[in-house]
Amino acid sequence: VSGIGSLRDEFGDFDGRVWLNAAHQGPLPLRAADAARRAIADKLAPHRIADEDFRHVPEELRSALARTIGALPDDVILGNSTTYGLHLLAHGLPLRDGDEVLLVDGDFPATVVPWLRLRERGVRVRLLEPRARPLPPEQLEAELGPRTRVFCSSWVFSLSGETVDLAEFGRVCREREVVFVVNGSQGVGARPLDVAAAPADALVSCGFKWLCGPYATGFCWIRPDVRDTLEYRQDYWLAQLTGDDLSSEAAYALRDDLGARRFDVFGTANFLDFAPWRAAVELLLEVGLERIAAHDDALVQLLVDGLAAIPRLRLASPADQPARSALVLASHVDEDRTDGLHAALAAGGVDVALRGGLLRLSPHLYNTSEDVERALALLARHA
Ligand SMILES: Cc1ncc(COP(=O)(O)O)c(C=O)c1O
């Protein structure tokens, strides 16, 4: 499919199985595994770790991540999860008693949970019940009240595969001066995004799905003017350090000129996680996110067509662009039999997710049309 089948060589053999589950975990590319091995070798003989590495490792990762979303590196915050960035926003944005945060019912818990404790401060946290799926921008517009300060939604919904209209949501929010926070975890790395053009105020993402990084990775981009409003106190000695002199008075001074770095996760030079993650992100950039998106979508088309040809299966995610994503959900018409299909796929060497009673197949750059055909053949046989 679309000429990047050779990228299979950049990955392991998945024990001879088919991994159609990037929406759960992206596999580490081989070059990222090499980077992880180098990081372990360095820690086995720590003389190999130079002082400058504590700066280079995070900065090189920051630059690579910035390129995946069209951001400036200086506006990227390094984290250890999606939640890291959402927590920073939920507890840093200047929200007061009576203010409102709007979320979408049916969104993945990671997008919802970080906001809930704001209720203890008198902030109204309300879940919108979409009257159509995905949530129509007109409904969002009608629901915004005078005290609505934040709207937070996933870009791609993990449990339904729907892609929301970022441009329209962003336009609605901007007109009403509502901060628009996007959880891009199921889209960043699978398709290009340009935050300079997209009207989002903040974007959070994990690193271990479509970006193919190790677990416990994530990042966050916040528009500088919104970042400046954050009332979040954290100060990290290593981020503040200007020179090598730990005994100088400057080492004790609080700096206010750190920009996004001020909010990085502590232990920012996380060699074992960040060195392989950077290698993975650089591979995706080398291939090109446009090409990856085209490849993934071609596989999605094969899945959508193939599922439609199996009479006893029902597609549960959007069939067409722009609402569809690289997450394809389906069930047996006899719902009790969906679990059995999941087991039959696993027994036949094809790994997909089972979420909310639905099969979820999520192909990515290392998958081929043969992988999809193997999955479809098993489904046809067992449906
Ligand atoms: C939409 C979405 N956001 C976030 C996560 C993960 O959140 P975190 O990185 O905080 O563990 C997932 C899946 O695990 C997800 O599907």
Report the pLDDT averaged over residues 285-289: 97
C-beta separation of 163 from 187 below 8 A: yes
Least confident of 27-36, 130-139, 235-244, 324-333: 235-244
Pocket test for ligand 1, best of 107, 113, 152, 185 (most atoms within 8 A of CB): 185
Main-chain phi, psi angles of 231, to 5 degrees: -110, 70
Q: For 109-166, write each residue's pLDDT tens digit.
A: 999 999 999 999 999 999 999 999 999 999 999 999 999 999 999 999 999 999 999 9
Report the pLDDT averaged over residues 269-281: 98
Question: What is the pLDDT, as a whole number, of residue 7?
Answer: 86
Pocket test for ligand 1, best of 78, 80, 82 (most atoms within 8 A of CB): 82
Angle at 130 between CA 184 and CA 141, to 5 degrees: 80
Q: Are strands 353-355 and 358-361 parallel, antiparallel or unpaired?
A: antiparallel
For residue 337, the one-letter residue type is: R
| Contacts of residue 72, Cβ cutoff 8 Å, sequence gap at least 6 | 66
Question: Is the whole model's pTM more than 0.95, yes or no?
Answer: yes
User: CA 359 to CA 331: how far, in whole Å?
Assistant: 6
- Split at pLDDT 50, 70, 90, the class of 256 is confident
| Cα of 84 from ligand 1 centre, angstroms | 11
Give the position, in ligand 1's atom list, of the atom nearest the Cα of 83.
10
Taking the mean position of all CA atoms in its chain, how far away is CA 246?
A: 37
Instruction: Examine the pLDDT at 328 and tell me if it is beyond 70.
Output: yes
Instruction: Examine the pLDDT at 5 and tell me if it is beyond 70.
Output: no
Q: Which residue's CA lies nearest to atom 13 of ligand 1?
A: 24
| Cα of 327 from ligand 1 centre, angstroms | 14
What is the CB neighbour count within 10 angstroms for residue 13? 7
Question: What is the pLDDT, as a whole number, of residue 87?
Answer: 98
- Split at pLDDT 50, 70, 90, the class of 39 is very high
Q: For 333-345, write each residue's pLDDT tens digit.
A: 999 999 999 999 9
Report the pLDDT averaged over residues 243-253: 76
